[in-house]
Structure 1
């Protein structure tokens, strides 16, 4: 639990610092007009504004309201600082280590119930700019007051729709200490911005974890699919090469068909060597292991013995009558024969 508490404290301090820097930068870029209400010893307020023509001599405060007719026109859209008398506040000096300068607000909030009669929820408080005391320590002055004291002034000004309301006081050593600040709905609140930054960081962390888990799951799934595909490819290659199928493998069947099926080129080459020069082949048909040729020759019967003498052909015969025309230079023959495949070297 202590480690989680330490992490939460560091995260709050970091996001608070970032949010404050963002708000400060935006306020410097677009700074609203400053209107200051300074309380005197009589309880009345003097108005300090950028435009003297709109300033009022003296503003009374009573029954939770400021008695000024044109105060709404001056305050609207401006940043209002209400400077209360130091007598309304309790001042306490505080000495801290030098490295605590970056976490001063959080440290003061944690010790406010020890330094004042009020708790952090019942008081408004602030601290002056830290002053270094050597290289190891620093001192600051804390100003605190009951929250109910300042809420009346804040509510009295809120109805005029300023951009921001701040409660400050003058310290005895000089310098103003801000103890309370409230921004309008449209302005950027450092506290809300800090919480938004924490929410964004939490969402980013959850997204990163979910993304990492999803990436690991997808990587495992893709690896499994890759292994399955590799196995299928290996099996296909083994089947093609005949490793698993023996004589019935596709490669063996193709090899056997290569030697059992007659090649048309070899058939044509063999016929061209067998037939005499006076014989002309006009048509040739291959159907399975049978070849049919037709053409013109001087002596058709002599072709049958020539074809059968070849090692490539058997059972040569005429499948149509031999005819002779007056226009033909010889006999027109039609012979078919059985092919003996001899494709091997």
Structure 2
């Protein structure tokens, strides 16, 4: 089986487990009328309502034959109406069942279902698919072991009996027996409407998870679109702010009329040689030294020796003080020099730090 098939199978099993866990308490919350059906040694069923404390049942008991297809025909109209939508608890006589005592290590209590299912054909006359079975609560014994009693009978007869009550309109049919006068052991549980409700709950869980997955994908896509939109808007706003600042600064400079204002304008538009030299000394690597530095207007010419001449172009271009850095003469290497002799020319920019 492929990994996708394993994931699908695990998901289906998880959905079914959750649906069963949720549906069980919901079924208990429903007010369902209980009707007890007890089989005697002659195979006759006695149907009665559970006695209330201090009272008897609301209706007299009803005796019905166990012949196949005769249960619904044997009911009076009152009992037929009482069964519809009710919970039928059938207690079969122990002679219908096979009882086998089993002794297991105490650690086996976590795996009883699988252990017993694997041994049903050895312990009973039926295979696991041909039988309905359950077991009594495990009882601890000496030697760190447990004892329990397996209760099993043929599936066909039990399912047929439960189906007859379902055909009469019962919502739930539980078939059990009491081994040797002990507590009841339920071997079969059939729900006429419960399965539909379970299926609806399972479908609702699948639909809910699918909806949540779709919403998660949509929300992720919408979030990505919104982030891109916000980034674009932020860039536009920053560009407009820069334009406004440039306009304001230009208008302030353009309107200069006094000598002080003209001097300030010239200071802001003329590159500073001192700041360029200072920036250059900070930018050049330790293995680089200049032998000739010339500044003419807004043009800088730099001659020197370095170990990696091409990297200097990138260093100067990344500085806010320089631009358009190029080699104006070939780079050479002499035998008596520790590196390459470079000749770089760049344009100076009027940059005076942040807030200028």
With the length of structure 2 as denominator, give the TM-score of the two structures: 0.53
Are the structure 2 counterparts of residues 137 and 2 from structure 1 closer, same or farther at C-alpha, using a change threshold of 3 Å?
A: farther
Count the aligned residue pairs: 247
Determine the C-alpha separation between the residues in 1 that align with 2:163 and 2:146: 36
1:44·1:61 contact (CA, 8 Å) conserved in 2? yes
The aligned residue for residue 65 of structure 2 is 60
Q: Relative to structure 2, which stretch is displaced further, 204-213 or 137-146?
A: 204-213
The aligned residue for residue 188 of structure 2 is 180
1:147 Cα deviation from its structure 2 partner: 1.8
Matched, 1:144 2:144: no
The aligned residue for residue 201 of structure 2 is 196
Matched, 1:168 2:176: yes
2:39·2:93 contact (CA, 8 Å) conserved in 1? yes
SS of aligned partner of 1:178: strand
Larger Rg: 1
The aligned residue for residue 15 of structure 1 is 18
Determine the C-alpha separation between the residues in 2 that align with 1:220 and 1:48: 67
**1:271-290 matched pairs, under 5 angstroms:** none
Deviations 1:66-116 (A, max 9, x none): 373524255344322222222222223344565665775566456545544
**1:75-224 matched pairs, under 5 angstroms:** 75-95=83-103, 98=106, 108-109=116-117, 112-113=120-121, 115-133=123-141, 137-172=145-180, 174-185=182-193, 188-189=194-195, 193=198, 196=201, 200=205, 203=207, 205-207=209-211, 209-224=213-228
The aligned residue for residue 250 of structure 2 is 252
Determine the C-alpha separation between the residues in 1 that align with 2:118 and 2:157: 21
Selected match of 1:230 from 230, 234, 248: 234
SS of aligned partner of 1:62: coil
1:22 Cα deviation from its structure 2 partner: 0.8
2:38·2:47 contact (CA, 8 Å) conserved in 1? yes
With the length of structure 1 as denominator, give the TM-score of the two structures: 0.55
Segments of structure 2 that go 5 or more residues without pairing to the other structure are 51-55, 258-356
Determine the C-alpha separation between the residues in 1 that align with 2:144 and 2:33: 40
1:136 Cα deviation from its structure 2 partner: 5.0
1:124·1:147 contact (CA, 8 Å) conserved in 2? yes
Segments of structure 1 that go 5 or more residues without pairing to the other structure are 243-248, 260-345
1:117 Cα deviation from its structure 2 partner: 4.2
2:85·2:169 contact (CA, 8 Å) conserved in 1? yes
